[in-house]
Structure 1
Amino acid sequence: MPSLQVLRFAAAFFVVLFHVGSGLQIQYQLTTNPFGLGAAGVDIFFVLSGFIISYTTNPARGFLDFARRRVARVVPLYWLLTLAVIIIALAKPDLLNSTVLTQQAIIRSFLFVPYEKSNGAIQPLLFLGWTLCYEMFFYLIYGLCALVSGRGASWLASGVLLFLVGLNSLWPDGPAEWRFYTSPILVEFVLGMGLQEIFSGSDYFRNGSQLLALMSIICAPVAYFTASLVLPGIVPPAIFSALVVIGCLFWKVQKTRLILALVLLGDASYSLYLVHPYTIQLVMKLLSKDASLGLVFLLLCAAIIWTVAISLALYQLVERPAQRFLLKPRPKALLPAVEVSSGSD
């Protein structure tokens, strides 16, 4: 689905803008993040993940095949960048803000189990890895539900996630791990799985509509800001993300050169998402507080372009080779030759 690949890049780019804005907010004591809505890129990723996992998983292949595909997709780059953070923390700790190395932090980070840092954030060492901790948790639940109920995995997984969110409402102030794994943000995976069920069961949805796609995407920010006035927490970004994903599911794209370029950037969106905080932060640390607005704008534009180029390189040099290696077909066991009798004995 090219439209969803384009959306993956857009979601990653939203998060890039959000961290550019938060860097400016800290550096120049701004009262608000000028790109605050960019944080919804994470919510789009979660809704997309719920849709894509339930749409593409074939329960007949078994739990181990599902797990192998998820590990090949997520683990290699995350482990590589986590190792890079550890090396930086040992060699130049002043380049990192709140990273403190401990044996427990290292082990938990490699196992996708977040921990509570000194600033109160529940994250692994690679701080944006908190979203991957949710992803791996969702994969585990979905894979086990597929093992138990086959094609009904989406319904069973949705029930499990909603049950966990319900537990959070009963005990919202539990320990860090409890608060993390019962967070209302899990509802966004449920929204994605629900959209998949509707999409797969509706010819009208699958046939697409450019008008409905445009209307859904235009309504998304309007719904977000309207909901923000009256509804708390996860509800506004969840509504926004669901409408954006619906719009892209209705959108039937023509494979022009521009679209193909955006699809390639969508392929590299995982790399862009994980690496950008460190490339952007490096530029922020080099900026003087007395720098003119024009110079700051030019340097940040250059940093974003540089970050996109790095993400494309990581996709080509790390992600694709790692996935090919981990997903290459296993050689079939050779059977002993059997002599066939001619029947003349």
Structure 2
Amino acid sequence: MSTLCRSTATEATEPGPGGRGFSSALCGGGGRVAGLDGLRTVAVVLVIVYHVLPDPLPGGSVGVDVFFTISGFVITRLLVAEYARTGRIGLWSFYRRRWLRLMPALLVMCAVTAVLAVAFAVPMFRDVWVAVALTAGSAVNLVRAGEPGAYSGLTAPFGHTWSLGVEEQFYLAWPLLLLVLLRRGRARVVLCWVAVLCVLPVIWRTVLWDPAAAHRIYNGPDTRADQLLVGALLALVLARLRADDPRLVVLRRWAGRLCWPALALLALIVWQIPITGPSGWNPLWYTAGFLAAAVLSACVVAALELCPRSWPSRLLSLAVPAWVGRNLSYGMYLWHYPLIRLLSDFGVRGGRLLFAGLTVTLLAALASYALIERPLLRRGRVRARRPEPAVVAAA
């Protein structure tokens, strides 16, 4: 979104019956930010490289933290825009869109992997049927959270879908909670409550902390909620500030100033700080570190949203990374782990594994996008133009 869009669209559009202090969401809720799509590409590539070569990038899993913050931001921006425009949130429509966006591609990935399990007798596929059931039920993160020692083979080869479980559980609860907040409080009250919710998981992680609870903290939807909620809080702040609000000018200035330091600190985490495995079970990271990563990610997201002419925004908005992030990042995340594990079981190692893994992952993501995701998205857009009877109205 450009600065001009934020200025003109906000002034030209009157808030709907549910505006109640979030009228700026009417501009911000409809368009994509190319820089955010480019950031998705960077995050998914980091995760893939980390899964192939963890030693050079011990903190590469922070790409998932970035994804969480982006998801909280984007989803909340859409929800608050709908509420500001109509005074209601179409819950059935929201859940249906999320299901169409996430589950068909996920189920196809599970089915193809199950076929591979029948075709190839490799160690990774021994418990594939249990793993398929857990993945389809978005329960991989819950199972992993209950394993105090090394992860069992119960969720292989879908261990990476723990993060999808966290997001899907957030998507289930957050629209309902946000609706309650929007209906019962003014904008400032809503912002205060969401800010409090961002801090609660830190307190809860501190209470839980023990090396034996590392998996519980890393995989729990409650213990990772602050990373999604920080993105949600940013979306609400931007929806609160009108184009003529001097605080928006201050926020834009500081977002531009903090973007490079935030990127540098995230890069330092990727390069130097182990996060997973016993060597990464640092009490500071497993209590406050997740929130710190979310705040750094939110600084970058704010700069990409508010400063489209800045260098980070220009670089991440380049056509190739933006297109890949917009259309292929989800498919790349889905397919990379089982494919890389399969190649590894066939004896591919090191740099060859990274090159081959990236190649087959891109091909699988392209097929997923062309054959599954894009047709369903088009169908969803057509359905979205029709009146939705199942909505929850604002008071």
Q: Shared fold by TM > 0.5?
A: yes
1:53 equivalent to 2:81? Answer no
Q: 1:306 to 1:53 in 2, by over 3 A?
A: same
Match in the other structure for 1:110: 136
Distance 1:69 1:177, change over 3 A: farther
Assess if the C-alpha contact under 8 Å between 1:206 and 1:250 holds in 2: yes
Q: Quick check: 2:194–2:233 contact (8 Å CA) kept in 1?
A: no
1:10-47 deviation per Cα after TM superposition (whole angstroms, max 9, x unaligned)? 1111100111114xxxxxxxxxx222221101111111
Give the distance between the partners of 2:204 and 2:301, measured in 1 at CA: 33
**Retained in 1: the 8 A contact 2:65–2:290?**
yes
Structure 1: distance between partners of 2:216 and 2:290: 23
Give the match's secondary structure for 1:36: coil
Cα distance, 1:140 vs structure 2: 1.1
- Give the number of equivalent residue pairs: 314
CA–CA distance in structure 1, aligned partners of residues 222 and 385 of structure 2: 43
User: Alpha carbons of 1:112 and 1:301: their partners in 2 closer, same or farther (altered >3 Å)?
Assistant: same
* TM superposition shift of 1:226: 8.7
Listed as ranges, the gaps of 5+ residues in structure 2 are 1-32, 242-246, 275-279, 388-395
1:145-202, Cα deviation, whole Å (9 max, x unpaired): 134233767765665676566556556789x999954652222112212222344435
Describe the shift of the 1:255–1:167 C-alpha distance in structure 2 as closer, same or farther (beyond 3 A): closer
Q: How many Å apart are 1:239 and its aligned residue?
A: 2.1
Deviation at 1:313, TM superposition (A): 2.9
TM-score (norm 1): 0.74
Q: Does residue 144 in structure 1 map to residue 176 in structure 2?
A: yes
Q: Which residue of 1 aligns with 2:151?
A: 120
Q: Structure 1 residues 313 and 179, CA, compared in 2 at 3 Å: closer, same or farther? A: closer
Bigger relative contact order, structure 1 or 2 (CA pairs below 8 A, ≥6 apart): 2
> 1:162-311 to 2 correspondence within 5 Å?
166=203, 170=207, 180-181=219-220, 183-200=222-239, 201=241, 202-204=247-249, 205-206=251-252, 211-222=257-268, 231-233=284-286, 235-251=288-304, 252-253=308-309, 259-267=318-326, 268-287=328-347, 296-298=350-352, 300-311=354-365
Indicate which of 316, 319, 327 corresponds to 2:373.
319
- The structural deviation recorded for 1:219 is 3.6
Structure of higher CA gyration radius? 1
| Cα distance in 1 between the residues matched to 2:136 and 2:288 | 31
**RMSD of aligned residue pairs (Cα, Å):** 3.8
Residue matched to 2:102? 74
CA contact (8 A) 1:161 1:187 kept: yes
Aligned residue identity for 2:325: G
Relative to structure 1, the CA distance from residue 39 to residue 72 in structure 2 (aligned partners, 3 Å threshold; closer, same or farther) is same
Give the 3 Å change call, closer, same or farther, for CA 108–161 of structure 1 in structure 2: farther
Q: Provide closer, same or farther for how the CA distance between residues 35 and 255 of structure 1 changes in structure 2, counting only shifts above 3 A.
A: closer
Gaps of 5+ in 1: 23-32, 290-295, 334-345
* TM-score normalised by structure 2 residue count: 0.66
Question: How high is the sequence identity, in percent, across the aligned residues?
Answer: 21
Closer/same/farther in 2, CA of residues 211 and 84 from structure 1, 3 Å limit: same
User: Aligned letter for 1:190?
Assistant: L
Letter in 2 for 1:109: T
Distance, in Å, in 1 between the alignment partners of 2:217 and 2:42 is 31
Q: Does the aligned pair in 2 maintain the 1:85–1:126 contact within 8 Å?
A: no
Question: Are 1:15 and 2:41 matched, yes or no?
Answer: no
SS of 1:328's equivalent in the other structure is helix
